[in-house]
């Protein structure tokens, strides 16, 4: 009987209260909306992601990451907090002075609403063609009451002051096209009507209706509610903002409840235009919204994500090298195991779906495969990732691997027989079986039997009756096999019955051509080819046994298959 863990008296749900900042929105419209196009994407890997690393990136790592973001297709990239550290300032200058920013890419930087920090920020951006200056201050009730100890009017004035400073400082740099962005930090924990009030006040300063480009960013700085509540907050905000049509609404969700992607998706349905996030979700605490996941979610719905993840393994490698963070093997779309099925029923369904697709390519070219939301090859992953074998696997998985890798198309009755062999081996080893091991198990079980050897034989056909005549040698004796039947196999079986005295008849038979190199011979090192594979199931003295034979000749493969099955019974 297992011992229970001692209860922690501090684990007390009564310390917490239900979420208190949901707006009243009885006529919400977002549940009836669908996402039909990609949002404006903004990567914050080099700022929000970088500040959450144990060891922040150096300039060379940032340059490598920046190039990756460009290659993927990002047009807006938050590169840092240039007023916060010298390395951030120097990286900004490096991008501008070395002309590393494509003309269609806009740099974004973050700054607090404080004058000397804003001065330093504009100094860092001098010479940029187009830049987003992102200013913020926290508006949530907990920050107002416990951190700043200021009332709503005082907090709003901080936002107004920051917006005014941005507008005034930008006039000193007329050669740059400036975009102003404001975030009511902790929007998700702010009364939504108050967030509207603060953002309206900021807009009065910037006057986007007169042509100034403005982004209002609504962060779930701490994810504190279910995604539907966040969507209500976004829809309420969009409805009540005075100059909604003149601004871009951006979302920046975090993953404290594990729902950052869902919150951004629903927020997009609720009226947002733009999404901020990071690749693989790196960020403070549980991380930022994972742009790769959200983009690939759109991809699975037939929507162009406007970002290129066709070589996702290379993306993951660079991100991991720069962030020095591992990727979970179950991470959506990119984890080592996300396209892998160990379950027997899953493997069988995948195999049958893929087989069906291959037979109906001309009439059905849309991806629809059980347990695989996308084709792994579309993002540079191989089919070897799809099916892996352990003790939980069934007949379909082993059959899939033998078919895809080695050209053996096992009939169902052979699949059942082989599955028992594979499961026994996996249980003995207590681990996953490698692809090469699976072929070895298959070969040892069916193709390497040395109980019987077929010597020279002749097959003749007179008047529709086929006669087999030859010798079959076992370790103990040599059988003279002479038999008649309506075909080579039936004549051979008739001869075996007469020679051995055993009751033998064929219960199942299948064959197919194979055109792949089967294996490397362990003794000679030579690769051997087989043109045909024959699968035979025999009833021997009332018991069922399966055998397989391969050879350049279909008839020889058939006879070898019969001996392979007979060897199981001997």
pLDDT tens digits along 3-53: 788 889 899 999 999 999 999 999 999 999 999 999 999 999 999 999 999
How many Å apart are CA 396 and CA 388, to the nearest integer?
11
Cα 347 from Cα 124, distance rounded (Å)? 55
- Residue 283 inside a domain? The answer is yes
Work out the pLDDT band at 204, boundaries 50, 70, 90: very high
Residue 211 has pLDDT above 60, yes or no: yes
- How far apart are alpha carbons 99 and 541 in whole angstroms? 83
- Please report whether residue 27 resides in a domain: no
C-alpha separations of 81 from 122, 139, 198 in Å: 11, 20, 23
Greater confidence (393 vs 307) lies with 307
Last residue of a domain, one of 386, 421, 445: 445
Quick one: which of 258, 250, 243 has its CA closest to 204?
243
Least confident of 90-99, 212-221, 285-294, 465-474: 465-474
- CB-CB contact of 473 with 479 (8 Å): yes
Residue 43 in any domain: the answer is yes
Q: Are residues 461 and 364 in the same domain?
A: no
Q: Is the pLDDT of residue 347 over 80?
A: no
288 is an annotated ligand-binding site residue: yes
pLDDT above 60 (res 387): no
The pLDDT of 458-463, averaged and rounded, is 89
Which of 167-171, 388-392, 393-397 reaches the highest mean pLDDT? 167-171
Residues 424 and 468 in one domain: no
pLDDT at residue 525 tops 50: no
Going from the C-alpha of 145 to that of each of 21, 187, 189, 396, 465, the distances in angstroms are 15, 15, 13, 61, 100
What is the domain count for the chain?
3
Note the pLDDT of residue 42: 98
Averaged pLDDT, 355-382: 85
Q: Is the pLDDT of residue 522 over 50?
A: no
For residues 278 and 157, state if they share a domain.
Answer: yes
| Ranges 61-75, 213-227, 418-432: which has the least confidence | 418-432
Same domain as 415, residue 305? no
At residue 517, the pLDDT reads: 46
Domain boundary among 394, 410, 445: 445
Q: How many of the other CB atoms lie within 10 Å of CB of 166?
A: 24
What was the pLDDT predicted at 232? Answer: 98
Task: Assess whether 213 and 354 both reside in one domain.
Answer: no
Please state the φ and ψ torsions of residue 340, each to the nearest 5 degrees.
Answer: -105, 135
Determine, yes or no, domain membership for 326: no
Instruction: Based on the fold, state whether residues 96 and 112 are members of the same structural domain.
Output: yes
Helix boundaries (H) for 98-226: 115-125, 141-142, 152-170, 192-206
* 254 carries a ligand binding annotation: yes
106 and 134 in a single domain? The answer is yes
Annotated binding residue 48: yes
Nearest residue to 280 (alpha-carbon basis) of 311, 306, 318, 225: 318
Residues 6+ apart with CB under 8 A from 382: 376
Domain boundary among 409, 425, 445: 445
Mean pLDDT calculated for residue range 473-477: 85
Convert the pLDDT of each residue in 298-318 to its tens digit: 999 999 999 999 999 899 999
DSSP string, 277-345: EBGGG--STT-B-BHHHHHHHHHHTT---SS--TTHHHHHHHHHHHHT----TTSTTTSTTTT-B-SHH
**Structural contact between residues 456 and 471, judged by C-beta atoms closer than 8 angstroms:** yes
Closest-CA residue to 307 (of 37, 45, 33): 37
In this structure, are 297 and 168 located in the same domain?
yes
461 with 414, same domain: the answer is: no
> What integer is the mean pLDDT of 353-360?
85
Q: Which two tokens stand for residue 515?
A: 């055109």
Looking at the domain assignment, is residue 319 inside a domain? no
Q: What percent of the chain has pLDDT over 90?
A: 68
With 0-12 / 13-18 / 19 or more C-beta atoms within 10 angstroms meaning exposed / middle / buried, residue 52 is: middle
Residues 292 and 377 in one domain: no
To the nearest 10 degrees (0 to 180), the angle between helices 312-323 and 59-72 is 160
Is 505 annotated for ligand binding? no
- Residue 324 falls inside a structural domain: no
Q: What is the pLDDT of residues 410-440, one digit of tens each?
A: 888 888 888 888 888 878 888 877 878 888 8
Q: What is the mean pLDDT of residues 63-79?
A: 98
CATH of the domain at 104: 3.20.20.70
Mean pLDDT on 364-379: 88
Q: Domain range for residue 67?
A: 37-311
Kindly state the average pLDDT of the residues 235-248. 98
> Averaged over 450-477, what is the pLDDT?
88
Is residue 131 situated within a structural domain?
A: yes
Q: Say yes or no: 386 and 486 in one domain.
A: no
Say yes or no: 298 and 349 in one domain: no
Residue 264 maps to a domain: yes
Distance CA 395, CA 380 (A): 27
């Amino acid at each position: 009987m297992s011992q229970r863990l001692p209860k922690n008296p501090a684990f007390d749900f009564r310390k917490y209260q239900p979420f208190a900042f949901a707006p009243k929105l009885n006529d919400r419209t977002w549940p009836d909306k669908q996402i039909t196009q990609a949002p404006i994407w903004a990567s914050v890997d080099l700022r929000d992601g970088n500040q959450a690393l144990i060891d922040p990136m150096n300039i060379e790592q940032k340059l490598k990451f920046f190039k990756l973001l460009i290659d993927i297709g990002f047009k807006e990239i938050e590169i840092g907090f240039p007023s916060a550290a010298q390395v951030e300032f120097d990286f900004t200058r490096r991008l501008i002075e070395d002309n590393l920013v494509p003309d269609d890419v806009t740099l974004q930087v973050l700054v607090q609403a404080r004058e000397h920090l804003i001065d330093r920020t504009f100094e860092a951006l001098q010479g940029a063609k187009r830049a987003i200056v992102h200013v913020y201050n926290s508006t949530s009730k907990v920050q107002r009451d416990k951190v700043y100890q200021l009332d709503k009017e005082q907090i709003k004035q901080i936002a107004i002051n920051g917006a005014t400073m941005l507008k005034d400082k930008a006039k000193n740099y007329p050669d740059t096209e400036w975009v102003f962005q404001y975030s009511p930090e902790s929007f998700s924990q702010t009364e939504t009507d108050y967030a509207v009030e603060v953002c309206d006040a900021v807009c009065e300063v910037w006057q986007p209706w007169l042509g100034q480009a403005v982004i209002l960013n609504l962060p779930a700085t701490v994810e504190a509610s279910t995604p539907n509540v966040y969507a209500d907050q976004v829809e309420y905000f969009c409805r009540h903002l005075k100059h909604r049509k003149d601004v871009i609404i951006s979302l920046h969700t975090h993953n404290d409840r594990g729902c950052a992607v869902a919150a951004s998706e629903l927020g997009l349905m609720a009226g947002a235009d733009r999404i901020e996030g990071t690749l693989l979700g790196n960020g403070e605490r549980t991380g930022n919204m994972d742009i790769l996941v959200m983009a690939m979610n759109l991809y699975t719905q037939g929507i162009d994500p406007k970002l290129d993840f066709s070589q996702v393994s290379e993306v993951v490698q660079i991100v991991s090298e720069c962030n020095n963070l591992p990727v979970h093997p179950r991470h959506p779309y990119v984890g080592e195991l996300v396209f892998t099925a160990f379950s027997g029923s899953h493997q069988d369904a995948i195999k049958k779906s893929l087989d069906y697709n291959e037979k109906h390519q001309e009439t059905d070219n849309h991806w629809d495969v059980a347990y695989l939301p996308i084709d792994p090859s579309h993002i540079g992953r191989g089919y070897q990732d799809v099916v892996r074998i352990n003790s939980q696997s069934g007949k379909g998985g082993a059959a899939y691997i033998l078919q895809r890798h080695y050209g053996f198309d096992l009939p169902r009755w052979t699949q059942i027989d082989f599955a028992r062999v594979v499961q026994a081996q996996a249980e003995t080893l207590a681990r996953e079986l490698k692809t090469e091991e699976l072929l070895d198990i298959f070969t040892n079980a069916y193709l390497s039997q040395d109980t019987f050897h077929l010597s020279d034989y002749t097959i003749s056909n007179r008047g529709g009756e086929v006669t087999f005549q030859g010798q079959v040698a076992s370790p103990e004796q040599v059988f003279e096999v002479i038999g008649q039947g309506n075909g080579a196999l039936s004549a051979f079986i008739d001869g075996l019955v007469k020679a051995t005295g055993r009751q033998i008849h064929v219960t199942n038979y299948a064959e197919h051509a194979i055109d792949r190199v089967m294996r490397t011979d362990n003794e000679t090192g030579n690769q051997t080819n087989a043109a045909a594979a024959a699968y035979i199931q025999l009833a021997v003295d009332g018991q069922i046994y399966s055998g397989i034979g391969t050879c350049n000749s279909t008839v020889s493969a058939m006879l070898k298959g019969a001996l392979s099955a007979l060897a199981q019974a001997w």
